[in-house]
Amino acid sequence: MIKNEKAKATIKTPSPIISDSIQTVEKNTVVQTKGFNLWYGDHHALKDINLDIKKNEVTAIIGPSGCGKSTYIKALNRMVELVPTVKTNGEINYRGRNILDPSYEVEELRTKVGMVFQKPNPFPKSIYDNIAYGPRIHGIKNKKILDEIVEKSLRGAAIWDEVKDRLNQNAYGLSGGQQQRICIARCLAIEPDVILMDEPTSALDPISTLKVEELVQELKDNYSIIIVTHNMQQAARISDKTAFFLNGEVVEFDQTDKIFSTPRDKRTEDYISGRFG
């Protein structure tokens, strides 16, 4: 039996070059959006979206207000379905499985694809309980394990040193920038694979913004990050790839430096040079 399997494996293994290139594509693409459309009632809000999100990269979504940025990232964890009029077609494959398939376990998806919102939204609970909330829901009760998760998550979100002596205080007592990093820590505590961020710094002051931007850069070593931003300098500073959305379509998707130095589409050029938006 074992011998047979070995023999099969030997025969099946293609030449290293092919096998490596196939593996690279499969391994590196975390979320693949293929011919995806979304309607709110009659309003066609996302049109034939094709985007590959790669592992350990920061992908920025830019574009004017109302072009579908939030709708797109909320589709990636199926949160957009909370709007009853929503209809979709096409595919969104997360690690090779189509999440739009009705049989896909949406709760499990949301533990893998975490989200951070525009306005910091900590729970009205202690800092500790904010972070322990998700793990507790997943059945972790052991105090020592929870302590470890809380510390690791707060460290991961670069806020441990600021809060370690007041873990039992209400998270509402923190500044907006600290609250946003608490929300990022809360997201890390469920050990996600992909982190969606919808304009996470737009309610923050410049110093807190910088901290969150630095954090995003650190987090990409362990996560894949999709960040919506209307701040083009931010996209240029922190992302590897940028997708420019306009009227529900992806006009251009490329390496961030290419988008900002030599865009191929006139509309991208007009947008990044501030002619509209």
Residues contributing to the site for ligand ADP (CB under 6 A): 40, 43, 45, 63, 65-71, 83
For the beta sheet containing 241-246, the strands, ordered from the edge strand earlier in sequence to the opposite edge, are: 113-116, 194-198, 224-228, 58-62, 241-246, 249-255
14 binds, among ligand ADP, Mg ion, none (CB under 5 to 8 A by kind): none
Question: What's the min distance (Å) between Cβ of 18 and ligand ADP?
Answer: 40
Q: Which is nearer to ligand ADP, 62 or 163 (CB)?
A: 62
Residues 61-100 close enough to bind Mg ion by CB under 5 A: 70
Question: What's the min distance (Å) between Cβ of 71 and ligand ADP?
Answer: 3
Size of the site for Mg ion (CB under 5 A): 1
Contact call for residue 201 and Mg ion (CB under 5 A): no
Question: What's the min distance (Å) between Cβ of 51 and ligand ADP?
Answer: 15
The Cβ-side half-sphere exposure at 31, using a 13 Å CA radius, reads 29
Q: Which is nearer to ligand ADP, 32 or 71 (CB)?
A: 71
Residue type, 185: A
Question: What's the min distance (Å) between Cβ of 162 and ligand ADP?
Answer: 30
Q: What is the DSSP letter of 205?
A: -
Residues 6 or more apart in contact with residue 253 via CB below 8 angstroms: 51, 241, 242, 243, 244
71 binds, among Mg ion, ligand ADP, none (CB under 5 to 8 A by kind): ligand ADP
Question: What's the min distance (Å) between Cβ of 9 and Mg ion?
Answer: 48
Q: CA–CA distance from 160 to each of 121, 156, 184, 200, 225 (Å)?
A: 18, 8, 12, 19, 21
At 101, is the secondary structure helix, strand, or coil? Answer: coil
Q: Which is nearer to Mg ion, 70 or 77 (CB)?
A: 70
Max CA separation in the chain (angstroms): 67
Tokens, residue 48: 């034939």
Q: Which is nearer to Mg ion, 9 or 82 (CB)?
A: 82
Q: Which residues bind Mg ion (CB under 5 A)?
A: 70
